[in-house]
Amino acid sequence: MAGARLKVISRRRGFNWTRLLAIAGLAAIGGVAVWNGLQYSVSPKQPSYDGERIMARQELDGSFQEDAGDGQGGKAGSQTDMAAWTQLTEAKGGAAESDGGGGDGDVSDGGDVGTDTTVGGAQGGERASSTSAAAGGGDKNFLTVVLKVPEMPPTYNSWVQTEDMLLFHLRALQLQLEQLYIGMALAAAAGRAFVLPDLSCFCQNAEAPLARCRRPDSEKLQFPAACRENEVLMPLSEFGASDEARGTAVEVRHADLLERLSADTSENAQLVVRPSAQILFPACKEPPPEPGSQLPACTQWGAGEGEQGSVVLVPPSLNDTDLLPLLAPLAKYRLWTLDLTSDIGSHWHAFAGWDCKGPAHQFDLRMSKAAVAWPSPRAAAVMAAGGGPGDSVMHIMRMTGGRTYSDEPDMKDC
């Protein structure tokens, strides 16, 4: 009896010991889980990718310069780099951040047009890759401009004074930006997508003035050179981004689409719209056009000597209320080319903007940060006097030199 009782007690003690070990093991596992949970939940701080972005941007800037070549080439490589940079920021930062004016520096909305201001960040302007349809833009209608580019001094490529080169370049670029502004405005008013023409640059852009306006790997570059879009304008996707707080969206396409559109020789493919100071408005409305005429009053076919294709002359200095009805019968043409080299006294006379304040204000709101900053001539003088890169001063470019459509007199509140 005593032996049997001892065995029972021993079995019970063994059972209790096993259960105790099992409970202790479960408690240990639960404790580790609770500790890990506290470790990741008590501190909600999100990881920062600023360092990685800076490193990626530095690598991007390096590859951008290596691809520069002679200033004409390397375009495909730079667009690939820009797309990779955009993907990096989108993947690690949530959504890609717009730099507004194309630079990384913090630029104020206000200030006088064309003023110099110190910018602390690197000057950039991420460029999204071209999204133009391979077939020539689908079924959209387009508008572009023929630019009037200032004539370069004959000895310009031999100049050694960076300050003087920047002065000439910024004036020449400002003139071209104003013409883009006018073309984009007419495109917005007419409901057409704007196709960038090739822009001519007389200097290369950087965070600080470049010796003789050339990067170290482009010392033999001859000006004028084709401007890179990202050195002149904010990303083209920003022009058409749907955001009412930023004003009227304007669809802007890359210049490569213009080559395909210009190669189309089919009927109703292209029309040159040429403002002419030889037509007086509104007197040109009388007498009315002859029966069967393809053109409304105040317009006339006007192809010059040696020109091919359809060219229509229109009165200068007309706003949307007066000009768009004249162009309405010509809407069948897929590409309108606004000729700003024609016989008018100023490119501003090609299109006088809007009759109402509202659309003009919304357009100017979108254009307010469309241009990218450049090193100022003053910065070149500072560096020539022994100042370092920290003394760099950026010239804040605007799409116009001061005049805007929203500031036009006698506009209606409609």
pLDDT band, very low/low/confident/very high, at 383 (cuts 50, 70, 90) = confident
Residue 337 located in a structural domain: no
pLDDT at 232: 97
Q: Say if residue 89 is in the same domain as residue 155.
A: no
CA angle 371, 77, 379 (to 5 degrees): 40
- Mind listing the pLDDT tens digit for each residue in 10-42? 444 444 555 656 566 656 555 544 444 444 333
In the predicted model, what is the mean pLDDT of the chain?
A: 74
Q: Say if residue 70 is in the same domain as residue 117.
A: no
Q: Which amino acid is at 227?
A: C
pLDDT of residue 235 exceeding 80: yes
Residue 46 located in a structural domain: no
Q: Say if residue 82 is in the same domain as residue 186.
A: no
Residue 242 located in a structural domain: yes
What average pLDDT does the segment 138-165 reach?
Answer: 94
The number of CA neighbours under 13 Å toward the Cβ of 404 is 18
- Mind listing the pLDDT tens digit for each residue in 330-341? 999 999 999 999
Structurally, the chain folds into a number of domains equal to: 2
Q: Say if residue 255 is in the same domain as residue 210.
A: yes
Are 93 and 48 in contact, with CB atoms under 8 Å apart? no
Distances (CA, A) of 111 to 115, 116, 125, 226, 333: 7, 9, 21, 29, 41
pLDDT of residue 86 exceeding 80: no
Residue 6 located in a structural domain: no
Looking at per-residue confidence, does 285 or 181 come out higher? Answer: 181
pLDDT at 139: 72
Q: Say if residue 66 is in the same domain as residue 113.
A: no
Q: Say if residue 235 is in the same domain as residue 148.
A: yes
Q: Say if residue 62 is in the same domain as residue 195.
A: no
Residue 388 located in a structural domain: yes
- Determine whether 96 is exposed, middle or buried from the number of CB atoms within 10 Å of its CB (0-12, 13-18, 19+): middle
Q: Say if residue 115 is in the same domain as residue 93.
A: no
pLDDT of residue 120 exceeding 50: no
What average pLDDT does the segment 87-101 reach?
Answer: 34
pLDDT at 257: 95
Q: Say if residue 69 is in the same domain as residue 147.
A: no
First-last CA distance in the chain: 111
Residue 45 located in a structural domain: no
Domain that holds residue 395: 108-122+141-264+344-407
pLDDT of residue 66 exceeding 90: no
In this prediction the pTM is: 0.67
Residue 289 located in a structural domain: no
pLDDT at 297: 81
Q: Say if residue 67 is in the same domain as residue 114.
A: no
Residue 331 located in a structural domain: no
Q: Say if residue 117 is in the same domain as residue 231.
A: yes
Q: Say if residue 191 is in the same domain as residue 247.
A: yes
